[in-house]
Amino acid sequence: MEIHYRLTHPIALEARFRIEGLTVLFGPSGAGKTTLLKVIAGLLPAEGSPFEGVPVERRPVGYMPQHYALFPHLTALGNVAFPLAQLQRAPRDARAMELLRRMGIAQLAARYPRELSGGEQQRSLLPGPSHAIRSSCCSMSQPAPWTCRPAKRSRKNC
């Protein structure tokens, strides 16, 4: 996928690159990495492609912010199911439960964010925006080491 965006606010930034498989965006603090991820996800306006003019909810992009963004009034299951509002309740909950199973946290489905550890909150957040809607891209501003399969063997591989 070719990415080319230009914005002037909150910072002046132009970026052009190709996403192939796992793509990592490196740069110094304050360079605009998170801003660019927000642009791609549709959370900030910018000129460019491939998603200019496409509403956030129609973009095949999931965005995982630096800070946990779980709804405090929803359970882990409810947070994962939230992006699936267009589905009837039974298929929505079944899909969300399957995603929690895949993350190894199905036993946490009925817990609220305040009842989860930081790591459990991260694992509850990951399947929601990206996998639930079957997005083709998941933007993580600060990915945790557990999001990388080789992390189980060696943190050097992430």
pLDDT in tens, 16-40: 999 888 777 887 777 888 889 889 9
Residue 121, phi then psi, degrees to nearest 5: -65, -45
Does 79 lie in the same domain as 55? no
pTM score above 0.85:
no
State pLDDT tens for residues 125-144. 765 554 444 555 555 555 55
Structure tokens belonging to residue 103: 């993350």
Q: Is the pLDDT of residue 109 over 80?
A: yes
Does 114 lie in the same domain as 125? yes
Residue 126 maps to a domain = yes
Q: Is the pLDDT of residue 67 over 70?
A: no
When the pLDDT of each residue in the chain is averaged and rounded to a whole number, the result is 78
Compute the distance between CA of residue 150 and CA of residue 145 in angstroms, rounded to an integer.
9
The domain of 2 spans: 1-59
Does 72 lie in the same domain as 49? no
Does 67 lie in the same domain as 132? yes
Does 112 lie in the same domain as 53? no
Residue 5 maps to a domain = yes
Does 95 lie in the same domain as 66? yes
12-30 b/e with 16+ CB inside 10 Å = b?
ebebeeeeeeeeebeeeee
Q: Is the pLDDT of residue 154 over 50?
A: no
Q: Is the pLDDT of residue 86 over 50?
A: yes
Counting the structural domains of the chain, the total is 2
Residue 157 maps to a domain = no
Residue 79 maps to a domain = yes
pLDDT value for 117: 82
Residue 146 maps to a domain = no
pLDDT value for 47: 93
Does 101 lie in the same domain as 81? yes
Residue 145 maps to a domain = no
pLDDT value for 138: 56
Does 55 lie in the same domain as 34? yes
* Residue carrying structure tokens 């956030």: 56
Residue 5, phi then psi, degrees to nearest 5: -135, 150
